[in-house]
Amino acid sequence: MVLVGLLTGCSQMDFDQAPRPEFLRTLMAEVQPQRLIDEVDALVQAHQSDVPLDCEAVGLPDDDRVCHHSRVAAGQRIRSVLESMGAVVTVDAQGEGAFATQNLVVELRGTVHPDQVVLVGAHYDSFYGGADDNSSGVAAMLELYRVLSTRSLDRTLRLVWFDFEEFGFIGSQRYVQSLPEGETVEVAVVFDCVGYSDGRPGSQEALPGFPTPSEGDFIALIGNQTSEQKTVEAYALNTQLEVMRAAAVVSPGDGAFPITGPLLRSDHSVFWLDGLPAVFLTDTARLRNPHYHQLTDTADTLDPVFFANVVRLSTAAVGHWVGAR
Amino acid sequence: MRTLLLLGALLSGMASAQPVPLEFYLRGNGKVFLSEARTQGGVGGGAGVRGFLSESLLLQADLGYLSQIGNVAELRLGAGWQLPGTLWRPGAAVILSTLLGDRLSFLTPHHPTPVGTPAFSLGLALSPLRFTQAGVSVSLLEVELGLGWEFPGLGLALGLTLVETSLRF
């Protein structure tokens, strides 16, 4: 197998089935950039029109950012869009009080290996309008659903919009702790901030110990030891399909080390710490985007081409892993 | 560990011909290997043995453990020189170093899969603040700079030993 891989130039991939580039390109071509931007715009409006968190009532500091956290209207928007596409949305409601969570779940059942799940997740709560953080991830998932829901899938594709990420991954933690018995999460793909790009030299900050391009125009693919293979596959697919500039990093172990701690700052970390494979896609948020957690995080600051390419790459990778036909 | 034993046997063999003073040492240090394909290393410490071929020429080997980016073992072999005969005994050594274990891996066109080999480097260690009195030595702020290789590509090894204490037998 290795020899064949070396001879065919596909040594980086160890798929249980070979990728089908032409088919994956067809999937990628179905991604509609304008829909993505329009959806982010609608989600930002939903956040801005929402009643924000009563931070005083829940005992949080009277901080301008914290007191502009919202989620309900965006959740309603997600349900509305999904139901308009014929999806059956399940609400995973857990907890009580101010931090009661409502994860929104949609599933496309696999026809060959229904117990093998490819999970895609993004949080839908935001500070202010939250265009990049994380309406971009929410919109990416809606587009992913739209493209893949017309296909037959070998494995089960489950999309989960997580609640209350901004206060410590509350929704995703509760979700992972209550995963159904008897199924295997083949991989979780988590989006958080996937729409902002800046190609100017010096626009990208780096973390110590991470060789990072100076231009903030790449998508970061972040895995750990458990998801190393899937991270390698996503990187190889991006190379093979020539989608976009990407930087991939694999953290050792579960990623919970002092130097790698900054890589844990989204819902994928919950999967990592539970021993489940997860690949995190991000534009690196505050390391690039000056609008991060600001009032100015609006749809017009996003890069439609970059954003669409992230969704194309994700569609190809998820389509491959889920065995779309 | 095997290397340490081999070096010990070598020095013992030499000792049978003529006595070779041995030093055992403990060190607290940080070390990092940086390349486009990995960042490996951390902070920790280790233990080693040093044999003196003459008043100033030495061979040494040590084994250490580093954390902060997973769990890493550091193995070093060195040959060097020390200023003889005084309380202040600064020195320099050529160091062959290996880091084994966890690492942050970066995928690049040249390294589309995580590198699986240990990080080797060859470099120079300087001990400007080494003091010896009555068979006991203390060395502060030793610096190490090395060049490594990734096949393809190069890496940079940077090390700092905060403190090393040794006892001569």
pLDDT for the residue numbered A16: 59
Closest B-chain CA to A222 = B106
CB A267 within 8 A of CB A192: yes
Distance from CA of B108 to the nearest CA of A (A): 7
Amino acid of residue B163: V
pLDDT for the residue numbered A10: 41
pLDDT for the residue numbered A56: 79
* CA atoms of B5 and A122, how far apart (whole Å): 54
CB B142 within 8 A of CB B82: no
The shortest CB-CB distance from A235 to any of B34, B35, B112 is to B112
pLDDT for the residue numbered A95: 95
Smallest CA-to-CA distance from A252 within B40, B63, B125 is with B40
User: What value of ipTM does the predicted structure carry?
Assistant: 0.90
pLDDT for the residue numbered A14: 43
DSSP H or E segment with residue A102: strand A101-108
Beta-bridged to residue B48, according to DSSP, are: B25, B62
Smallest CA-to-CA distance from A192 within A161, A150, A229 is with A161
Q: Write out the two tokens for A34.
A: 């304008």
The verdict on whether omega for the bond into residue A134 sits within 30 degrees of 0, i.e. cis, is: yes
Torsion, Cα B31 B35 B37 B42, to 10 degrees, reads 10
Q: Provide the whole-model pTM.
A: 0.90
Predicted confidence (pLDDT) per residue in B24-63, tens digit: 999 999 999 999 999 999 999 999 999 999 989 999 999 9
Our CA angle for A285, A266, B70, nearest 5°, is 105
Question: Could you list the pLDDT tens digit for every one of the 169 residues in chain B?
Answer: 454 454 555 545 544 556 678 999 999 999 999 999 999 999 999 999 999 999 899 999 999 999 999 999 999 999 999 999 889 999 999 999 999 999 999 999 999 999 989 999 999 999 999 999 998 999 999 999 999 999 889 999 999 999 999 999 8
Residues 6 or more apart whose CB falls under 8 angstroms from that of A186 comprise: A116, A117, A118, A155, A277, A321
Q: Give the best residue of B43, B100, B113, B154 to mutate against chain A (max A CB count within 10 A).
A: B113
- Contact between A250 and B107 using a beta-carbon 8 Å cutoff: yes
Question: Could you list the pLDDT tens digit for every one of the 325 residues in chain A?
Answer: 333 343 333 444 444 577 799 999 999 999 999 999 999 999 999 999 999 888 877 777 777 788 899 999 999 999 999 999 999 999 999 999 889 999 999 999 999 999 999 999 999 999 999 999 999 999 999 999 999 999 999 999 999 999 999 999 999 999 999 998 889 999 999 999 999 999 999 999 999 999 999 999 999 999 999 999 999 999 999 999 999 999 999 999 999 999 999 999 999 999 999 999 999 999 999 999 999 999 999 999 999 999 999 999 999 999 999 999 9
Distance from CA of B43 to the nearest CA of A (A): 11
* CA atoms of B40 and B68, how far apart (whole Å): 9
What is the greatest pairwise CA distance in chain B? Answer: 56
pLDDT for the residue numbered A12: 44
Q: Which residues of A touch B69 (CB under 8 A)?
A: 209, 252, 257-260
Amino acid of residue A99: F
pLDDT for the residue numbered A7: 35
Residues 6 or more apart whose CB falls under 8 angstroms from that of A263 comprise: A222, A249, A251, A255, A269, A280
CB A213 within 8 A of CB A144: no
* CA atoms of B135 and A202, how far apart (whole Å): 53
* CA atoms of A201 and A215, how far apart (whole Å): 5
DSSP annotation string for A205-265: ---TT----SSB--EEEEE-STTHHHHHHHHHHHHHHT---EEEEE-STTS-STTTGGGG-
* Alpha carbon distance, N-terminus to C-terminus of chain B: 20
